[in-house]
């Protein structure tokens, strides 16, 4: 009976549920569900061709919510970009999860030592954090980064595999960074020279997730902008070479 409802072409080698329903229409015997389940699982043709639908991705983990600036950072790499004059092709990016302040540092490559130098530069600029979150790229899971975090008593945490949305803060900043750098690159300016200006513009713009400037949350005021120095003069009256001082 099981060969008829399961093995024959009209049976179609259905799964357990369909085979059980078809058999129940015409037969009944003790331990029916258990016997049919064992029969379907022992079918060699089913086991070698059926798609396994069980989810194998790691579950989303909850990262600590920071209570103050520079307590938790997300970090990532973006690139490769065209080789700059100084030979840089990647950008190390990090976002403070409390203020959403962005940090960027150009890199020649993404080996362990180069990335550790960028991390150490960030620490010496803003202080040592408690938690450092990254993906599972080899540039972050290596022994060099682990030893640096151990030496500075920083807890290193990793996002689940194939779950890039867990680094949403960095990924969204990458999009903004690329958009703003592109407008300068199209004008013939080297991207490396404009990197810090673009990061300033990101930190002095309203972040939609917090509705404040990251700069404003950190320092308690909005950043001074060059146009404030002209005491209300019209933009057309400002000499072009003066404005170039702030953009080059």
User: Which residues have C-beta within 8 Å of that of residue 181, sequence separation ≥ 6?
Assistant: 191, 194, 195, 198
Comparing 32 with 185, which gets the higher pLDDT? 32
Mean pLDDT for the chain? 82
* Per-residue confidence (pLDDT) for residue 213, from 0 to 100: 87
What integer pLDDT is reported at residue 97 of this predicted model?
92
105 CB neighbour count, 10 Å cutoff: 21
Q: Residue 230 — very low, low, confident or very high, per pLDDT cuts 50/70/90?
A: low
Domains of the chain: 1-50 (no CATH), 62-247 (3.30.420.10)
Residue 197: pLDDT over 90? no
The DSSP element (H or E) to which 175 belongs, if any, is: helix 168-185
- pTM, entire model: 0.67
Q: Tell how strand 131-134 and strand 72-78 pair up.
A: parallel
- Mean pLDDT of all residues in 178-202: 84
Long-range CB contacts (within 8 A, 24+) of 105-110: 106/192, 106/195, 107/77, 107/79, 110/77, 110/79, 110/137, 110/139
Sheet holding 131-134, edge to edge: 102-107, 90-96, 72-78, 131-134, 155-158
Most confident of 36-45, 138-147, 159-168: 138-147
pLDDT digits (tens, 9 = 90+) for 208-217: 888 888 998 8
Residue 238 has pLDDT above 90, yes or no: no
Omega of the bond prior to 80 within 30 degrees of 0, cis?
yes
Q: Which two tokens stand for residue 173?
A: 């900043």
What confidence category does residue 112 fall into, taking pLDDT thresholds of 50, 70 and 90? very high
């Amino acid at each position: 009976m099981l060969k008829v409802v399961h093995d024959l072409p009209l049976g179609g080698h259905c799964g357990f549920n369909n085979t059980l329903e078809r058999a129940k229409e015409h037969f009944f015997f003790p331990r029916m569900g258990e016997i049919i389940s064992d029969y379907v699982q022992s079918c060699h043709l089913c086991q070698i061709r059926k798609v396994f639908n069980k989810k194998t991705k790691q579950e989303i983990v909850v990262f600590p919510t920071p209570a103050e600036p520079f307590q938790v950072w997300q970090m990532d790499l973006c690139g490769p970009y065209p080789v700059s004059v100084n030979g840089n092709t990647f950008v190390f990016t990090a976002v403070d999860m409390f203020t959403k302040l962005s940090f960027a540092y150009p890199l020649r490559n993404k080996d362990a030592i180069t990335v550790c130098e960028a991390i150490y530069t960030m620490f010496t600029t803003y202080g040592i954090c408690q938690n450092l979150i990254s993906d599972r790229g080899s540039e972050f899971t290596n022994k060099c980064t682990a030893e640096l975090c151990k030496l500075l008593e920083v807890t290193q945490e990793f996002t689940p595999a194939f779950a890039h949305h867990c680094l949403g803060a960095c990924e969204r900043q990458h999009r903004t960074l690329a958009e703003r750098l592109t407008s300068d690159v199209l004008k013939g300016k080297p991207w490396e020279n404009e990197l810090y200006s673009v990061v300033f513009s990101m930190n002095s713009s309203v972040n939609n997730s917090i509705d404040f400037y990251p700069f404003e949350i950190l320092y308690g005021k909005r950043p001074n902008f060059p146009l404030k120095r002209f005491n209300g003069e019209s933009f057309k009256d400002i000499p072009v070479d003066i404005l170039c001082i702030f953009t080059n």
